[in-house]
Structure 1
């Protein structure tokens, strides 16, 4: 996924009120919208290089969106609104081998009163529902971790995938890792034990788990490599 316009470089100062970040550009502090509801632990350091996109829309209160930050080892993609698009692009270009062989792709597929991120299908006879989550948390051993905060919504999605699986429909939980300084995926057991317990349950009943890592740059983010689960 290429950024539609060149990103603006700055220096990260702080995040506050959940959706706001101060980024220093020259002598000016720009307030950027942060589309990430997680803790962003291991992602934010004062003085780290940061990248923002600019949106000159009269409907936006903040003209800048916080896109990426660099910890000295890798760019880290923190804009979670891009994650589904990254997954769709990777499915369409064949980068996610396990999700090939479907003729149709529908984003935000409705099931009951809820929605699953992606529906892959070959008519009405072969379907695959894919839920997508963004991963940015890491530990000191090079594992990327999920979740980075308590996620009631994520827990609900696991339950929905399980119900579909019990109906004989293929279901997949896809974790998209937007950083390059990690080599494998691991559950973060302490932050949200209920989510971890549920994920183990759905895996035992046949819900598939895939973890793919992105190649990161200020020009483009590409899903390019499968990571092992430990």
Structure 2
């Protein structure tokens, strides 16, 4: 997928909060503020002095006034320089392109695709507060049978293991619970992790950071929810799906990558 934005390199200085970074453009040394779309901790990536890639923000008519003039897109890994995407908005677009190109074997043969689809079901978990559940994708086969899909963006990789989440995600756990409910009702459901870098050989839930999400993922799989993970090749101008990697759900706390 070719990007519609153009990036420029900058030197990362600091991260005042989860959604904003301060960096110095390498072309003219101007200090700028950029929106960080990934609310994860990103401690192993956003280290002062590392090179990040930012794009000028596009202000849409009628949109609220922005506090930042740039968007953070990528970071060069501090250890080996490999480009890592921090844009959590990309996975849905990556997944859609993969569907259209027939990249995902588990989802071939579906006739219709819709994004950001709301499902009304009063039996959904948390229905009392939010009876309308919205999912990233709904695919329909020739008989009108659906599969409901949630995509998740993973950027943390330690010792070639992609780990999700990088910070506790109640929203992510709720999505998994809702998919579990669908699977228990006989409806096909799936979670797809898009690892926005190529250097992972498997994916695991981050038991130490968010044990509730990890446990929900195990229960989802036991209920029939399908769980997949795919890596990507990334450059400043495009991103391409690379390969499927296995998902390991074993409960574990003491490996080196769980910091």
Q: TM class, shorter-chain normalised?
A: over 0.9
Matching residue within 135, 143, 167 for 1:116: 135
Q: In the alignment, is the contact (CA less than 8 A) between 2:153 and 2:194 conserved in 1?
A: yes
Please name the residue that 1:80 is paired with.
88
- Maintained 8 Å contact 2:229/2:245: yes
Pick from 126, 147, 152 the counterpart of residue 133 of structure 1.
152
Are the aligned partners of 2:32 and 2:69 in contact in 1 as well (CA < 8 Å)? Answer: no
Query: SS at 1:65's partner residue?
Result: strand
The answer for the alignment partner of 1:96 in structure 2 is 104
1:227 has 2:229 as partner: no
Unpaired runs of at least 5, structure 2: 121-131, 249-259
Q: 2:160 aligns with which of 126, 132, 142?
A: 142
User: CA RMSD of the aligned region, Å?
Assistant: 1.5
Tell me which of 29, 32, 37 is aligned to 2:31. Answer: 29
Distance 2:173 2:146 in 1: 22
Deviation of 1:135 (Å): 0.3
Q: 2:211 aligns with which of 179, 184, 193?
A: 193
The answer to whether residue 4 in structure 2 is matched with residue 4 in structure 1 is yes
**8 A contact 1:75–1:180 mirrored in 2:** no
Structure 1 residues 102-145: Cα deviation after superposition (integer angstroms, max 9, x where no partner): 11110011112120110011256321111010001122x21010
Aligned to 1:161: 179
1 or 2 for the larger relative contact order (CA 8 Å, sep ≥6)?
A: 1
**CA apart distance, 1:149:** 1.0
SS class of match (1:144): strand
* Residue 91 of structure 1: how far off its partner (Å): 1.2
What is the match of residue 68 of structure 1?
Answer: 74
Distance in 2 between the 1:9 and 1:70 partners? 10
TM-score normalised to structure 1 length: 0.94
Equivalences, count: 229
Query: Following superposition, which runs of at least 4 residues in structure 1 exceed 4 angstroms of deviation?
Result: none
Q: Could you tell me which runs of 5 or more consecutive residues in structure 1 were left unpaired when the two chains were aligned.
A: none
Q: Aligned partners of 1:187 and 1:17: how far apart in 2?
A: 24
Take 1:206 and 1:138, find their aligned partners in 2: how far apart are those partners? 27
